């Protein structure tokens, strides 16, 4: 059935998060070497964690509380990434347009996650005993 969501890979929010994490990966290649174990590592980890936690949330759909808890982790990781983007800008590693574009993308992702949280019942898999 076309358009049916069968995997986390079919979620628009997952694909958006993957796209933006790859943009961050490529941008962070130009960060100074002294940032390798701090800013570079942190921004890459948090941006990738958005995708990983979405995949985990998808598998926890049998239990509403677990699903929502994992989506809260997704939202937190997206917000953390926004903080690292602010640092990257303040340090002069990315320009204002790059920062604003990426922050807007994360605002959209966060909005999609909040919507999933608020409509969690439509995502839950009924447990049949």
Closest CA to 84 of 13, 31, 34: 31
Residues 112 and 50 sit within 8 Å (Cβ to Cβ):
no
pLDDT tens for 102-122 read 999 999 999 999 999 999 999
Domain-wise residue ranges, the chain: 11-122
pLDDT tens for 68-88 read 999 999 999 999 999 999 999
- What percent of the chain lies above the pLDDT cut of 70? 98
pLDDT tens for 15-46 read 999 999 999 999 999 999 999 989 999 999 99
Task: Give the CA diameter of the chain.
Answer: 57
50/8 Cα distance (integer angstroms)? 12
For residue 82, give both structure tokens.
Answer: 């926004």
For residue 73, give both structure tokens.
Answer: 């982790």
- 81/6: higher pLDDT: 81
Domain 11-122 class? Answer: mainly alpha
């Amino acid at each position: 059935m076309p358009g049916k969501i069968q995997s986390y890979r079919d979620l628009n929010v997952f694909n958006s998060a993957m796209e933006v994490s790859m943009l961050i990966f490529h941008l962070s290649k130009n960060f100074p070497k002294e940032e390798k174990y701090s800013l570079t590592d942190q921004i890459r980890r948090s941006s990738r964690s958005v995708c990983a936690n979405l995949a985990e949330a998808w598998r926890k759909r049998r239990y509403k509380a677990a699903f929502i808890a994992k989506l809260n982790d997704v939202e937190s990781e997206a917000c953390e990434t926004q903080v690292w983007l602010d640092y990257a800008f303040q340090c002069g590693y990315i320009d204002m347009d790059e920062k604003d574009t990426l922050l807007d993308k994360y605002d959209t992702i966060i909005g999609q996650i909040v919507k999933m949280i608020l409509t969690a019942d439509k995502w839950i898999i009924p447990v049949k005993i």
